[in-house]
Amino acid sequence: MITVKQVQSKADLKDFVKFPFSLYKNSDYWVPPIIKDEMESFDETKNPVFKSAEASFFLAYKDGKIVGRVAAIVNWLEVNEQQLKKMRFGWFDFVDDLEVSKALLDKVAEIGKQHQLEYMEGPVGFSNLDKVGVLIEGFDHIGTMITWYNHPYYQSHYEKHGFVKEKEYLENKFLAAKADPALFHKANLLVKKRYGLREMNFTKSADIMPWVDKMFDLFNNTYSKLSSFVKITDIQKEYFKKKYISFINPEYIKFVVDSNDELVAFAIVMPSFSQALQKANGKLFPFGIYHLLKAKKKSKDVIFYLIGIRPDYQNKGVTAIIFNEYYKTFSEKGVVNCIRTPELEENVAIRQMWKHFDPVVHKRRRTYRKDL
């Protein structure tokens, strides 16, 4: 018999966070989160996303043992401002038992119906900066700190429970050394001269901080037309600024500004922390922080996390400036592999942007939908 219980205490929440550690304990490809950080992201007093969203967390038990988990999420900005009557769910993990996955999904559906929502979609997080999608291809590639990994049987569970594909995301990678600087170096000079633009590079995180709000405003502006977009609020900007920006290598953040020093484009790249997080196994101490700091300085793999270009400068070659700067930085640091975060299959413009690098699609993931 399957029993589903709502997370009520800090101990329950820790069980929720730690369940995947047992589910994937023999996996070479799953990347564990830092337990403390994961718990804080679910804490209503610490994560400002709860100012505009609410979540309920559930654990499934069988014979007294935890066999699954799910977060049921309502993003009220999405529901009220965008009029998308969507019930979100994420952090959905389960053993290969259809009764377990069904029992958890039924809880999500129950909450969605209580709020008179029209459909449920997942796996997704609270916002666009959270993880998204169930992996359907690429199970033999190591995950990243910003994506979910899952067993191959997950897909069949969605489909057997009557869910249908909602969105598909592609992940690709390419060799940094394979990029031909001639493809963007000359264009970089022409674009800067034609539009009066210049690049901004950084060596200190403190120098980036005054620009972060403008960067998130540009992010909201760049992606507002995508079907899955939910804007980043002012209070979330402060949260992300404090939690993440200082941990990203300042030389991996690139800005492009116009003659009035108005932000035209930005890009954020992060070192890959995947292997470091596997070694840390959920804990910063005593050795986890050492592995993470070592990866920050020496990782030869990087993840292109975010890129945004002001709409009036899109299709004007601004990416040539960004790529030219990254090429110099990657050459100095000996970066080998560049990995792209999940990109919507429908986002043709972003795929065109990378075509000169001969990217290889190595993973696919989906969100699934079911009407309530």
Confidence check: pLDDT of 258 > 80: yes
Q: Do 224 and 348 fall within a single domain?
A: yes
3-class SS at 171? strand
Q: Do 139 and 250 fall within a single domain?
A: no
Is 372 part of any domain? no
Q: With contact defined as beta carbons under 8 Å apart, do 161 and 370 qualify?
A: yes
Per-residue pLDDT tens digits for 159-218: 999 999 999 999 999 888 777 788 788 889 999 999 999 999 999 999 999 999 999 899
Q: Do 166 and 288 fall within a single domain?
A: no
Percent of the residues in the chain that have a pLDDT greater than 90, as a whole number: 77
pLDDT value, residue 68: 98
**Residue whose entry in the numeric block shows the structure tokens 């259809």:** 98
By CB atoms closer than 10 A (0-12, 13-18, 19+), residue 240 is middle
**Residue that terminates a domain, selected from 171, 201, 228:** 171
pLDDT value, residue 234: 84
Q: Do 195 and 115 fall within a single domain?
A: no
3-class SS at 196? coil
Is 224 part of any domain? yes
Q: Do 319 and 244 fall within a single domain?
A: yes
CATH of the domain at 30: 3.40.630.30
Task: Identify the band that residue 228 occupies on the pLDDT scale cut at 50, 70 and 90.
Answer: low
Q: Show the DSSP H helices in 183-267 as ranges.
A: 185-195, 205-208, 212-223, 234-243
Cis peptide before 271 (omega within 30 of 0): no
Which residue type does 75 have?
Answer: N
Task: Identify the band that residue 306 occupies on the pLDDT scale cut at 50, 70 and 90.
Answer: confident
Is 370 part of any domain? no
Q: Do 135 and 11 fall within a single domain?
A: yes
Q: Do 131 and 274 fall within a single domain?
A: no
Confidence check: pLDDT of 326 > 80: yes
Task: Identify the band that residue 119 occupies on the pLDDT scale cut at 50, 70 and 90.
Answer: very high
Q: Which domain holds residue 58?
A: 2-171
**Residue that terminates a domain, selected from 147, 171, 195:** 171
- Average pLDDT score over residue span 52-79: 96
